[in-house]
Structure 1
Amino acid sequence: MARPKEFEINEVLDKAIQLFWVQGYEKTSMQDLVDYMGIHRRSIYDTFGDKHTLYMKALQRYESTQNKKMRFLVDKQEPVKELIRQFLESSIRKEGEPQGCLIVNSGVELGVLDPEVASLVEDSYSKMEELLYDLVKTGQQRGELKASLEPEAASQYLLNAWLGLRTMVKTATDQRKLSNIIQTILNTLD
């Protein structure tokens, strides 16, 4: 008879997310995962299969959580430009979180080498671009953003800017610099 699991899957996935976020895929060994997640190696294999499958499950959970956070932000009834500001500011390091973004990190580290990771990253970027497209269209309909903006090009630009910020925060220590960049991005919408 199989032993019952002595852990909650989402809790150990959250731990795996943290470790992969800090160290990346290649630098994270199975022993690192065992130690950090606090479960036996056999349990990792029995529950998730191999390290790559665990990584993909962690990425999917992270992406889903991030998507919900961004969707919640967009659904707030605030001026669109303020929502875009909050969206961009979400890139700046949060207390208790590793620097940068696990999805961006994964795309940079493995996007060219791993088609499964590349597909997940591309899908995540597409969802964010759609969200930004909806924001731009809503802003134009409300008269909050200039009508001459091409929504598709503007959403692509904003996605690129957001991804740049999510990369830049890994090394930037000057918060004023990041704030200036965000303000410049927002100024393009006027």
Structure 2
Amino acid sequence: MSRPREFDVDRVLHQSMEVFWNKGFKSTSYEDLTRTTGVKKQSLYCIFNDKRALFLKALVHYREQYIEILEKLEAQEMSPVDKLESLRDSLLNEEATYRGCLMVNSALEFGTEDDQVTREIELMFAEAEQILEKIVISGQEQQLITTRFSSRELASYLNNAILGTRIQEKSGASREQIKAVLRVSFSMILP
């Protein structure tokens, strides 16, 4: 008879995601993961198979959390401009951990050498852009956001600005520099 699992898989996945987010995939050792989670290597192997499989599940976990935040923002009862300002402010109010975005960090670490990692990154970027586009469309319909560009172009522009500030954050840019980029980027879409 097999031994019952003695740890919370979701908690371990979240903790592992944090380790990968801080250190990157290649710099993370199993010792880092076991020390942080308090779970033995063999037990991690039994659930997640190997470090790469755990990393891929961590990327999915990160994407789901990020998209859930954007979906909740998009569903709020406020003007589209207020939604975008709330998003901008939330990006500025996060703790200055200088760890960037797990997806951006992974894109920089892997490039296009791993198809599964690339697919997960592309999926998050596409889902985020779709949510941003819904907000932009609503703003354009209410004449609160410029129509000089299509909703898709503006959503792509905003998504790119957000991702760019994540690179700035990871590379140690000051909060003032990041704030300036976000302020200008978000104001560029107004009529």
TM over 0.5: yes
CA distance, structure 2, for counterparts of residue 42 and residue 98 of structure 1: 32
1:187 matched to which residue of 2? 187
1:100 matched to which residue of 2? 100
The count of corresponding residues between Structure 1 and Structure 2 is: 190
CA distance, structure 2, for counterparts of residue 53 and residue 99 of structure 1: 22
Q: Percent identity?
A: 27
1:165 matched to which residue of 2? 165
Q: Higher mean Cα deviation, 28-37 or 115-124?
A: 28-37
Partner deviation per Cα, 1:21-49 (whole Å, 9 max, x = no partner): 00000000112111111101110010110
CA distance, structure 1, for counterparts of residue 137 and residue 128 of structure 2: 14
8 Å CA contact 2:48–2:54 kept in 1: the answer is yes
Q: What RMSD, in angstroms, separates the aligned Cα atoms of the two structures?
A: 1.7
Alignment of 1:134 onto 2:134: yes
Q: Higher mean Cα deviation, 2-11 or 179-188?
A: 179-188
Alignment of 1:26 onto 2:26: yes
Tell me the amino acid that sits aligned with residue 37 of structure 1. T
Partner deviation per Cα, 1:87-142 (whole Å, 9 max, x = no partner): 23443462386621111111111132111000000011000111111111000112
CA distance, structure 2, for counterparts of residue 173 and residue 93 of structure 1: 15
In 2 relative to 1, CA 92–171 (structure 1 residues): closer, same or farther, beyond 3 Å? farther
CA distance, structure 1, for counterparts of residue 46 and residue 65 of structure 2: 25
8 Å CA contact 1:88–1:165 kept in 2: the answer is no
Tell me the amino acid that sits aligned with residue 177 of structure 1. Q
Structure 2: gaps of 5 or more residues: none
Tell me the CA shift for residue 169 of structure 1: 1.2
1:7 matched to which residue of 2? 7
CA distance, structure 1, for counterparts of residue 169 and residue 132 of structure 2: 21
Tell me the amino acid that sits aligned with residue 88 of structure 2. L
What does 1:37-186 correspond to in 2, within 5 Å? 37-92=37-92, 94-95=94-95, 99-186=99-186
8 Å CA contact 1:34–1:40 kept in 2: the answer is yes
What SS does structure 2 have at the residue aligned with 1:183?
A: helix
CA distance, structure 2, for counterparts of residue 155 and residue 25 of structure 1: 29
**TM-score w.r.t. length of structure 1:** 0.93
CA distance, structure 1, for counterparts of residue 35 and residue 96 of structure 2: 20
In 2 relative to 1, CA 41–98 (structure 1 residues): closer, same or farther, beyond 3 Å? farther
